[in-house]
Amino acid sequence: MKILVAVKRVVDYNVKVRVKADGTGVDTANVKMSMNPFDEIAVEEAVRLREKGAAGEVVAVSCGVTQCQETLRTAMAIGADRGILVETGEELQPLAVAKLLKALVEQEKPDLVILGKQAIDDDCNQTGQMLAALLGRPQGTFASKVEVEEGRVRVTREVDGGLETVSLATPAIVTTDLRLNEPRYVTLPNIMKAKKKPLVVVKPGELGVDVAPRLQTLSVREPSGRKAGIKVPDVASLVDKLKNEVKVI
Amino acid sequence: MNTQELIATHGPREAMDYDVVVVGAGPAGLATAIRLKQIAPDASVVVLEKGSEPGAHILSGAVMDPRAMDELFPDWQKLGAPLGQAVTGDDVLFLSETGSTRTPDWLVPRNLHNHGCYVVSLSNVVKWMAQQAEGLGVEIFPGFAAAEVLYEGQGRVVGVATGNMGLTKEGAPGDNFQLGMELRGKYTVFAEGARGHLGRQLLAKYKLTEGRDTQTFAIGIKELWEVPADKAQPGRVVHTAGWPMSGDTFGGGFLYHLADHQVTLGFVIGLDYRNPYLSPFEELQRWKTHPAIRAHIEGGKRIGYGARAINNGTPQALPKTVFPGGALVGCDAGYLNAARIKGSHAAIKSGMLCAEALAPALAAGRAHDELVAYPEAFGRSWLHDELQQTRNFKLWFKKGKAIGQLMAGVEQWLLPRVGVMTPPWTLHNHRADHEGLEPASGFEPIAYPKPDGRLSFDRLSSVFVSNTNHEEHQPAHLTLKDAAVPVQINLARFAGPESRYCPAGVYEFVKGEDGADRLQINAQNCVHCKTCDIKDPTQNIVWVTPEGGGGPNYAGM
């Protein structure tokens, strides 16, 4: 079985993002970038499946600027066998990424595609679902457990009421939730090995995909700051304020 | 479990061999690696960095003297080095509580002239240097802390080991535990910055400070601001003395205008201060409210925060910088020029001098011996002369501000005018900073103003914009030799100074359920400034490296 894993380069989760002064987006100049944490979980899961003997090859894919190669090297340091970068300087929206991934799936013919459920920069939570729809293949989103069976994958999903288990015919699309696994620490020897693993760079045009944005961002603003609280002397004045000032009861 | 036990149960550790192992990807460490690859392209060089990426733990003023950069990369401008903003004007201000007096240009001593220098983000400069180094074939591993020096035979240094990852709070191996690994080098260069955790051990083991002055430090706390377009004065450099420091405390402010409407500002206070109620963090906060400072930033937004201990830079306190198998460079040795408020040019130069000694040693097939050529070359370098010229600067101020100003004027203004560049006398200091702290009973608590949330802030909202994080389940990296000392001595005699000098709110005295005081250590907040390691009155706090990748993630600092 072959697994394709999609990884996105995002602003590191420790960085407090800041809106640019002109309101056109988030300032990413000199900011630390790293792999989307949900994608790290996806890579870890794919590598674990291979280590268990359930998968043969793990291919990591990223779409975006040249520096996404670093993200792919990290995926290969965790254990992916090779990497593919779809390189473009254009802004990539979920639909464009889904189309690029569809083209790669048609080339690579994996039995399983694992993606993070969402990226921590735009929080869209769309790419996996769009990819499944474009391919017309089954999807198991928000996975907290993935088991490979003969010709099928059994996915335990985190849903509002608890857990839901679905069995998908392969090829299938799985998106990862936080509790699926805890990614390993990459080690120095594995970072060295990752530098020597094959990494192919292709352009969207070569895949026949038009990545032009379909959505237009009008403006980006920071959430308004929280107003200072007040202390009330007793319950009666609290009720009074809630009723007459804030008007919530 | 200690490392020996972990090696017994999970080992042996993997090892990799290099010609040179460098600890720390700052200006000194990277200059060492770059210079070595420039003159010995076949040498294998690895650089370990505890920050998540090069530059993540780098914080400096900074006005950079390009002298060393010119030597390292004569074409740095063409290569796109982020030294984009030349200094356009110098202001030296003496502040009273509400007023300020500008020193006329002709009276400004030469050490405070910044013409020809650049206002930079050292963090960005280091990021760029790391790219250049990688381009030359240097292997840089960020996110890996050098936690242990490896010794062999007759006490030769043969490399370092990285820290263990995935230990639980109690120090036992967790689910994703990874044993550290050994990086072995013919020579190991330590470039950890001021008060390096391994450097300290080497100073003691090889008695490198014998016969030298005692090294002293200051704490620098810095903020990065984005200011309204009409307030931007790219290249303007402001230094202040006076308020809010009282006569016997050495401290001053800096405010530099970068390009892109950014202002970097901060306050530096000598860690030999006496009053345990002093809070460097709150001194910075109130300094910003002075009319002469707020005029630069009012209406702006603070976007970054951080802190770092700095050497006080007297060449009298420079240790011996070589020992069998290794060397100290940059502020791990202490080359900073405190009088000029600059250290990055010295760090780069010292790394280059070390590399220029390493290359012939490697070529001659030598290993694990003393690189005596490095300190010899330093003795002949311009850096040596520059440091000698200002060697007494900080020490005069230890005698009081009036004497300090007078003698700094004599040495840096008067004598150079009559052709005497290096003062004919030398002062000495043999008192460590922590010994300077006096019992709280002799002082009144200082009433600092409450933060207003616009110009001044509290500690936690400050640490928030330093992007600091540590994996929370690891053992605390701020260790106590004796757990009873904080309450019995620090709190009882010195009113708990660690809760004030720590710029990140790591140390908090809290009441337990039984009403007894106890020290709570919020190690996750630590910005790796090392102040506690220096100022703790009984030297009971020992800073050790946390898991690699933890700590601040400075951007543009």
Q: What pLDDT, on a 0 to 100 scale, did the predictor assign at position A55?
A: 92
| Contact predicate B121/B304, CB 8 Å | no
Q: Which of A18, A184, A192 sits opposite B303 (nearest CB)?
A: A18
**What percent of chain B clears pLDDT 90, i.e. is strictly above it?**
83
Q: Are B221 and B60 in contact (CB under 8 A)?
A: no
Residues B236 and B264 sit within 8 Å (Cβ to Cβ): no
A188/B contact by beta carbon, under 8 A:
yes
Is the CB of A196 inside 8 Å of chain B's CB atoms?
no
* Cross-chain residue pair A16–B467, CB shorter than 8 Å: yes
- Which residue is closest to A30 within chain B, CA to CA? B555
Cα–Cα distance for residue pair B259/B239, rounded to 1 Å: 18
User: What is the sign, positive or negative, of the torsion defined by CA atoms of A17, B544, B273, B494?
Assistant: positive
Orientation angle between helical segments B27-39 and B122-135, nearest 10 degrees:
20
Best of B124, B182, B471, B553 to disrupt the A interface (most A CBs within 10 Å) is B553
Position A132 scores a pLDDT of 98
Contacts of A29 in chain B (CB under 8 A): 555-556
- Enumerate the residues of chain B whose CB falls inside 8 A of the CB of residue A40: none
- B20 vs B176, residue with greater confidence: B20
pLDDT, residue A89, reads: 95
- The pLDDT value given to residue B187: 98
Number of helices and strands (H, E) in chain A? 6, 11
> What secondary structure does DSSP assign to B167-196, as a single string?
E-TTS-EEEEEE---EEEEEEEEE---TT-
Question: Is residue B424 scored above 90 in pLDDT?
Answer: no
- pLDDT of A229 reads 83
pLDDT grade for B229, boundaries at 50, 70 and 90: very high
SS3 per-residue string spanning A4-15: EEECCEEECCCC
Interchain pair A185, B176: CB under 8 A: yes
Q: Would an 8 Å CB–CB cutoff place A69 in contact with chain B?
A: no
Residue B249 has pLDDT above 80, yes or no: yes
Range with lowest mean pLDDT among B4-13, B63-72, B402-411, B469-478: B402-411
**Predicted pLDDT at B368:** 96
Q: Residue B310 has what pLDDT?
A: 96
Paired tokens of B58 = 């780098």
Per-residue pLDDT band for B396 (boundaries 50, 70, 90) equals confident
The pLDDT of B132-140, averaged and rounded, is 97
CB contact B131 to A (< 8 Å): no
pLDDT of residue B3: 85
The pLDDT of residue A21 is 82
Mark yes or no for CB contact B52/A32 under 8 Å. Answer: yes
Distance from CA of A31 to the nearest CA of B (A): 5
Residues of A in contact with B555 (CB under 8 A): 15, 29-32
Partner residue facing B141 (CB), from A15, A185, A188: A188
d(CA B14, CA A240) in angstroms, rounded, equals: 68
Q: Using CA coordinates, name the residue in chain B closest to A192.
A: B139
Contact list in A for residue B166 (CB cut-off 8 A) is: 185
Would you call A189 an interface residue with chain B, using a CB distance cutoff of 8 Å? yes
B443 to chain A, closest Cα gap in Å:
35
pLDDT tens-digit readout, B1-60: 788 889 988 889 999 999 999 999 999 999 999 999 999 999 999 999 999 999 999 999
B/e letters for B299-336, b = 16+ CB within 10 Å, e = fewer, are ebebbbbbbbbbbbbbbbbbbbbbbbbbbbbbbbbbbb
**The two three-digit tokens of residue B123, written as one number:** 């963090």
Q: Which residues on chain A are in Cβ contact (under 8 Å) with B183? A: 188
Closest residue of chain A to B141, computed from CA coordinates: A188
In this complex, do A188 and B467 lie within 8 Å of one another by their Cβ atoms? no
As a whole number of angstroms, the distance between CA B383 and CA B354 comes to: 13
State the Cα torsion A8-A10-A13-A16 to the nearest 10°: -160
Percent of chain B with pLDDT over 70: 100
What mean pLDDT do residues B242-271 have?
Answer: 92
Angle value at C-alpha B61, between B60 and B62, nearest 5 degrees: 95
Contact call for residues B137 and B37 (beta carbons, < 8 A): yes
Residue B482 to residues A90, A246, B490, B539, Cα–Cα distance (Å): 57, 53, 12, 10
Burial of A140 (0-12, 13-18, 19+ CB in 10 A): buried
d(CA B85, CA B101): 26
User: Does A207 touch chain B if contact means CB atoms closer than 8 Å?
Assistant: no
At residue B275, the pLDDT reads 95
At residue B475's C-alpha, the angle toward residues B471 and B10, to 5°, is: 95
Tens of pLDDT along A218-247? 999 988 877 878 889 999 999 999 998 888
Q: What is the DSSP string of B352-421?
A: HHHHHHHHHHHHTT--SS--THHHHHHHTSHHHHHHHHTTTHHHHHTT-HHHHHHHHHIIIIIHHHTT--
Quick one: average pLDDT of B293-313? 95
Asked whether residue B250 carries a pLDDT value surpassing 90, the answer given is no
Residue B99 tokens, joined: 């007023």
- Answer whether B176 sits within 8 Å of A21, measured CB to CB: no
Helix (H) or strand (E) holding B126: helix B122-135
A144 vs A165: CA distance, rounded Å: 10
Average pLDDT, chain B: 94
Nearest beta carbon to residue B14 from set A18, A32, A189: A189
Helix intervals (H) in B206-315 = 280-287, 291-297
Give yes or no for residue B190 having a pLDDT over 90. Answer: yes
Tell me if A187 and B176 make a contact (CB, 8 A cut-off).
no
From residue A54, give the alpha-carbon distance in Å to each of A9, A146, A157, A192.
Answer: 28, 11, 20, 26
A-to-B residue pairs, Cβ atoms closer than 8 angstroms? 58
Residue of B55, B175, B181 with shortest CB distance to A188: B181
Q: Which residues of chain A have pLDDT under 50?
A: none
